[in-house]
Amino acid sequence: MSRQTFIKIVLLIQIIGLTVASYVPYSDKQDRIINGNKAQVGDFPHQVSLRRVEDSKHFCGGAILSEYWIITSAQCTQDLHSLPDNIFVVVGTVNMTRGGLEYAVEKIVSHPHFNWEKRRNDIAMLKTNQPMKISDGKVFPIALPSFKTNYTIENGIGLTEVTLSGWGSCNVEGSKIEPSEILRFLKTSHLQRRMCRRHLGRVNGLLLNENHLCANVKEGQRINVGDIGSPLVTNDGQLVGIASWQHSTGYEIGYPDVYTRIFPYKSWIWNNLMDPNDILI
C-alpha cells in the first residue's frame, strides 16, 4: 500500500467518525481563553486561522476536516468574506505572526438555511486550492462526533469535557480587538440545553435550538472577537461544536458560550466532502 493511499484511508475513517485522533488536545492547565493558556506546537493540529487577503488580518477560526476542507462558522463567510479571493487560511502554527502554511481558498459553502439574526445553521465549509500537507505533528484533520458521543451530550449522561482553542482577542474592553499572538485554549465541559436556556433565555433576539450546544464558563471566561468558527473538541479528539455566539456581558457574569452542534450536520458535511475533485474520492 502506498503512503498516499494510506493517508486517504486514515482521513476517510476520521471523517466518518469511526475512530478518533490519538493526540491529547490540551494540557492539564486551566484558564480562560481571554488571557488564557498558551498552546504548544502540536497541541491543536486541526486549528485554522482565517485571514483577509487585503491586510493578512485574522478574523475567524476553523478546523481541518480533510486535506482540502475546513469547517467554520457561516458568520465568517458573509459580505466581503463570501468571496474566496478575499480570504486565505493558515495552518500548522500556534504563532499568529510567524510559521505555518498558507493556502488560498477555492470554494466557500455556507449552509443554505443560515439565518444571521437567529444564528441558525451557523456552519460553513471552505475548500483550499491545493491539498494541505498533512503531518501528525502540526497539521491533521479532526474527527466528526460519533453517535455515542452525541447521545452522551444530548441525554446529559455525565459531563463531557471539552476544549475550545482560538486566536480571539485577549481584551474585553476598549477598542483594541487584535487577535492573540499565541493560540490559546480553555478546558471546560458541556452544559445541558435546558440548563443553558435557564441561564440565557432570549439574548438579543437569539434563542437556543436543538442544533446549539452550550459550554460552561466561569466568571471571567468566554469566547471573544476572533474566536467565532473555532473548534470545540472532546478529550478523545472529536469535533462537537464550532463557536457561534455569547452573551454580550458574559465575561463579567459567566454566561455559557454557544456553539453550533456538529452532529446534526454530519450528512451535510459529508455531501460537501464528496466533491469529485477531493483527494479522498
Q: How confident is the model at residue 156 (pLDDT cuts 50, 70, 90)?
A: low
Residue 144 phi, psi (nearest 5): -75, 160
Q: How confident is the model at residue 255 (pLDDT cuts 50, 70, 90)?
A: confident
CATH 2.40.10.10 applies to domain 3-22+45-141+264-273: yes
Longest alpha-carbon distance in the chain = 56
Separation CA 39–CA 58 (nearest Å): 17
The answer to whether 227 and 134 are in contact (CB under 8 A) is no
CB-side exposure of 198: number of CA atoms within 13 Å?
Answer: 6
pLDDT: is 191 or 220 the higher one? 191
Whose cell is 477555492? That residue is 106
Separation CA 255–CA 215 (nearest Å): 9
- Tell me the range of 18-22, 88-92, 132-136 where mean pLDDT is highest: 88-92
Q: How confident is the model at residue 224 (pLDDT cuts 50, 70, 90)?
A: low
CATH architecture classification, 147-263: Beta Barrel (2.40)
The answer to whether 193 and 211 are in contact (CB under 8 A) is no
Separation CA 279–CA 4 (nearest Å): 10
Question: What is the predicted pLDDT for the residue at 138?
Answer: 93
Q: DSSP character for 97?
A: S
Question: What is the predicted pLDDT for the residue at 22?
Answer: 30
Q: Residues 77-125: pLDDT tens digits?
A: 998 788 999 999 999 999 998 899 999 999 999 999 999 888 899 999 9
pLDDT for 208 beyond 80:
no
pLDDT for 72 beyond 70:
yes
Whose cell is 505533528? That residue is 137
Q: Determine if the pTM surpasses 0.85.
A: no
The DSSP H or E segment spanning 150 is: helix 147-154
The SS3 call for residue 66 is coil
Give, in order, the Cα–Cα distances in Å from 104 to each of 8, 23, 107, 129, 181.
22, 27, 9, 6, 22
The SS3 call for residue 234 is strand
Separation CA 144–CA 48 (nearest Å): 16
- Angle between helices 3-16 and 266-273 in degrees, nearest 10: 160
Question: What is the predicted pLDDT for the residue at 160?
Answer: 76
pLDDT: is 137 or 94 the higher one? 94
- Tell me the range of 63-77, 137-151, 169-183 where mean pLDDT is highest: 63-77
Q: Residues 74-90: pLDDT tens digits?
A: 999 998 788 999 999 99
Domain ranges in the chain are 3-22+45-141+264-273, 147-263
pLDDT: is 189 or 120 the higher one? 120
Residue closest to 55 by CA, chosen among 87, 80, 79, 85: 87
What would the mean pLDDT of 197-222 be, rounded to a whole number? 69
Residue type, 157: I
What would the mean pLDDT of 46-53 be, rounded to a whole number? 96
Which three cell numbers, joined as nine digits, stand for 131?
A: 491539498
Question: What is the predicted pLDDT for the residue at 170?
Answer: 56
User: Would the CA dihedral through 52, 57, 62, 66 be positive or negative?
Assistant: positive
Number of Cβ within 10 Å of residue 277's Cβ equals: 9
| CA angle centred on 42, ends 36 and 43, rounded to 5° | 35
Averaged pLDDT of the chain: 78
Question: What is the predicted pLDDT for the residue at 119?
Answer: 82
Percent of the chain with pLDDT strictly greater than 90: 44
